[in-house]
């Protein structure tokens, strides 16, 4: 905060900026909510966050467990590629389509793992204030699941139930972020 910065309302030295409109606030008009600072006007427009409880605990849990489940999934795909023979991918011009699918899944899962590892700690450290990351996480989960499902069925392969479960979970959460006020007040700041 520079020495010249002043609160436009009170002509007093600014102590911070409003987290919503960005205006300078002074000690007499800054309003705090959790660790966020707002000006007097904006504070009235920011609803109090709802606590993470009830059925919404599942979302918090799924975020916490996401890196674990994704690492397990990566291990599974890696086993598949290793059993199929990674060297055959490099040697033969005609790549086994199942192997290619596995390779693409590895790339997708690596992105998803990175995203989950990035999102989950921020979600908790910043008092659940990473809603955009969470929505991106669920969107990537959904699109990857959809693509993978299509790849499997078009080859006449069985779709594992866990895959459909994660697809449904991602779809439900994406919809909930758009339609539920409760979800918005818990996760969107
Ligand atoms: Zn403001
Ligand atoms: Zn002021």
CA distance 88 to 106: 17
Give the pLDDT of residue 113. Answer: 72
CA distance 28 to 8: 12
Give the pLDDT of residue 24. Answer: 93
Question: Who wins on pLDDT, 121 or 8?
Answer: 8
Of the ranges 45-49, 70-74, 168-172, 185-189, the best mean pLDDT one: 168-172
If one counts every other C-beta atom within 10 angstroms of the C-beta of residue 153, the result is 11
**Range with the poorest average pLDDT among 78-92, 102-116, 133-147:** 78-92
**pLDDT grade, residue 163 (50/70/90)?**
confident
Percent of the chain's residues with pLDDT above 90: 8
Tell me which residue of 66, 23, 67, 56 sits closest to 41, measured CA to CA.
Answer: 23
Q: Give Cα 35 to chain centroid, integer Å.
A: 21
Residue 182 half-sphere exposure, CB side, CA atoms within 13 Å? Answer: 10
Across the range 81-108, mean pLDDT stands at 64
Q: Where are the domains of the chain?
A: 1-46, 54-187
Ligand nearest to the CA of 44: 1
Whole-angstrom CA distances from 98 to 75, 77, 78, 141, 167 are 17, 11, 13, 21, 21
Task: Please check whether residue 52 is in contact with residue 60, taking contact to mean a CB–CB distance below 8 angstroms.
Answer: yes
What is the Å distance from ligand 1's center to 1 Cα? 17
Of the ranges 28-32, 44-48, 92-96, 119-123, the best mean pLDDT one: 28-32
What is the Å distance from ligand 2's center to 34 Cα? 19
What is the Å distance from ligand 1's center to 121 Cα? 28
Give the pLDDT of residue 13. Answer: 92
Query: Helix, strand or coil for residue 154?
Result: helix
């Amino acid at each position: 905060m520079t020495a010249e910065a002043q609160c436009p309302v009170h002509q007093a030295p600014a102590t911070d900026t409003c987290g919503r409109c960005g205006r300078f606030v002074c000690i007499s008009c800054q309003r705090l909510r959790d660790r966020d600072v707002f000006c007097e006007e904006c504070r009235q427009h920011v609803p109090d966050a709802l606590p993470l409880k009830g059925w919404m605990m599942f979302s918090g849990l799924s975020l916490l467990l996401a890196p674990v489940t994704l690492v397990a999934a990566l291990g599974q795909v890696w086993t598949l590629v290793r059993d199929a023979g990674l060297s055959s991918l490099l040697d033969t011009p005609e790549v086994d389509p199942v192997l290619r699918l596995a390779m693409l899944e590895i790339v997708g899962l690596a992105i998803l793992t990175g995203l989950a590892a990035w999102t989950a700690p921020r979600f908790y450290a910043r008092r659940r204030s990473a809603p955009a990351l969470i929505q991106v996480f669920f969107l990537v989960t959904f699109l990857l699941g959809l693509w993978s499902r299509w790849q499997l069925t078009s080859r006449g392969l069985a779709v594992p139930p866990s895959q459909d479960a994660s697809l449904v979970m991602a779809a439900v959460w994406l919809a909930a972020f758009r339609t539920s006020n409760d979800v918005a007040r818990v996760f969107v700041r």
